[in-house]
Every structure is written in C-alpha cells, then in structure tokens.
Amino acid sequence: MKTDEKLSIRIIRKIVFISIILICILTIGVKASKSEVNYVTIVFPEGYETTVMTSNIKIADILAENHTIILPDEIVYPDINSNIDLTKTITISKITEEKSVVSEQVESVTTEEILGKYVTVTEKIIVEQVEIPYETITKDVSKEGTETNDKVLQEGVNGLKEIKYKAKYQDEVEIERNVIAETIIREPVEKIIQISTKITSRSGGNRTVVSPETLSASVEGMTPKVVKMNTSAYCSCAKCTGKTNGITSSGAHAKEWHTVAAGSGYPIGTVIYVPALANKPNGGWFVVEDRGGAISNNRIDIYMGSHSSAISFGRRSLECYVYE
C-alpha cells in the first residue's frame, strides 16, 4: 500500500511539473508572438525596487500582473492609466509625503512675499512732552573736618521740552523712530545746596564748644556789614542781668568770649567779628545769643565769666563785622 501511494504521488508531481512547463512555454510563446518583452523597474514607497519582465505596456496591467495593489494613500508615476514610458520605471510613492513637501514650498514662498512685496509701512508724527530733570549744584563753604549743615538756597524745578518724532510702523509695530524737532517749553531751574559748617548753640545744656575757626568758616563767602558799635560786657550776676542761671534769652548757656547780647535788629545766631578783640580766646568771633532790654541796635554786650572781668572790660567803641 505504502509503495503504491508513493508511486502515485510521484506520478502526480511529474504531471503537474510537466503541465507547468508546458503552460509556461505556451504563454511565453503566445505573448512573444503578440508584442515585445520589456524589463520594467517598479520602485516601491519603502525604497526597494524590483525589475519584472512583461509584455504589457499599460502600467495598470503591469502592476496587476505582478500582484501590486495600489493603496489609497499611494500614487503611481507615470499615471496608472497611461503606458510605460522610455524610462521603463514605475514609481509608487506615498501621497502624504508629497503633500508635505508641497506645503513647505508654499510656506517658504509666503514668507518671502511677506518680507518682500506685501509689507505695508505707515508713518506717523508723534509729539511727546518730556521733563528735563533739574541739576543739583552743591556749594561747599564748610571748613574741612567740621560738622556741617546743608541749606537749600534754591529749590530745583524740572524743565519741559516737546519732542517731535517721525515714527514708522509695520503692522502696528513701531520699527523706527527719528527725532525731527525739539523745543524747550520751560528751562529747568537748578537746585542749589550750600554746605556750611554747623553753628552749634549750646542749648539745653548741650555744651558743644564752638571754635573761632568754626564760626569764621560758617560765614565764609558772606559779605559782612561793617558797623561801629558801643561794646560793653556783662556777666550772669543779678546786677548785670537780674537773673542768676546764666541762661540767655535764646535758651543757650552763655559762654565767655562767645556770647553777645544785641538789639532785636540782629537775629539770634548772627555772627559778629570784632577785629580789635582778635587777640582774645575767641579770636574776636562772637554769636548773638542774648537780648537785653536796654540794648539798642548800635550796641553789643559781651558775656563774661565774672562780674569783675565785665567791669574791667568797660565800654569801648569798636568796629564790628556783622554776618547776618
């Protein structure tokens, strides 16, 4: 049984083999007699290619013959309904890839167009008012190494100017601005600060010693009024003042060779230089720190530490430099 079966299978195989060969020979013969045979290259989207032998000339037929199915997202070149051309190549590619390439090209062209021809630039005249900040000038008339006071001699005021611009806009965005005119409406006023040596009155028991140098420095740059005055001296005794505490009418503690009492024409704090007393401990420099009921404006009373020194000073008519 087994031997018989093997034999029959062999016979069937032979028959099939011979028939295939016969069919092939017949087919080739028929086709060869019909038209010429071409070698056509089919290029697939994946990148590989195959060369087939065909007697067909229509692309659709060549593809069908080779069981090549075109998917909806694929495209055939040359057109599937045309005949094979001289290149004898059929290229199958993905539609999406081609589209993306096309859109990129469109984009680049659009960008160039924007930069080139289709940009609209508008011009506008803009007027702006701008403040001109004032400058601060400092005049230092203080003596080096002394405590100083800042005094504003003049307050600063900002100026104002009008600036006219020509501005260029591209799609509402300013791209260029040029000044075409500038007009000053108001000039700024500079601020002037004077730094001078602090004049310390010894008020409230704060006994700060004011040196003659400090006093002279505090009036540096000022022009004194030169007046001949009747000068006398006093002390804190009851005979001289009617008070005994040595506190002057300015509230400052009277100090020998420093404090003077003067008439109301000379404000408290007025510095007076008496050249004739330049050899005294204060170098001749006094400060009006007291008042006296009987003191007229051409008279000063110099404070002394003791009644006897006040008496011995006596009365003198002396030239005074008054710094107000």
> Applying CB under 5 A, which residues contact Zn ion?
235, 237, 239-240, 307
Query: What is the nearest approach in angstroms of Zn ion to the Cβ of residue 219?
Result: 29
CA triple 318-237-275, angle to 5 deg: 15
Question: Cα(90)–Cα(100) distance, rounded to whole angstroms?
Answer: 22
Query: What is the nearest approach in angstroms of Zn ion to the Cβ of residue 303?
Result: 10
When the beta carbons of 129 and 308 are compared against Zn ion, the nearer one is 308
When the beta carbons of 76 and 240 are compared against Zn ion, the nearer one is 240
CA triple 310-312-315, angle to 5 deg: 80
In DSSP notation, 129-151 reads: EEEEPPPEEEEE-SPTTS-EEEE
Cα separation values, 76 from 44, 57, 59, 85, 88, Å: 10, 15, 9, 13, 13
Query: What is the nearest approach in angstroms of Zn ion to the Cβ of residue 231?
Result: 16
When the beta carbons of 141 and 237 are compared against Zn ion, the nearer one is 237
Query: What is the nearest approach in angstroms of Zn ion to the Cβ of residue 273?
Result: 25
Query: What is the nearest approach in angstroms of Zn ion to the Cβ of residue 240?
Result: 3
Query: What is the nearest approach in angstroms of Zn ion to the Cβ of residue 233?
Result: 9
CA dihedral of residues 178, 184, 185, 187 (deg, nearest 10): 140
When the beta carbons of 60 and 311 are compared against Zn ion, the nearer one is 311
When the beta carbons of 142 and 248 are compared against Zn ion, the nearer one is 248
Sheet arrangement for strand 191-197? 136-140, 191-197, 148-154
**Helix, strand, coil: what percent of the chain each, to 5?**
25, 40, 35
User: In the numeric block, which tokens belong to residue 21?
Assistant: 């060969």
When the beta carbons of 166 and 307 are compared against Zn ion, the nearer one is 307
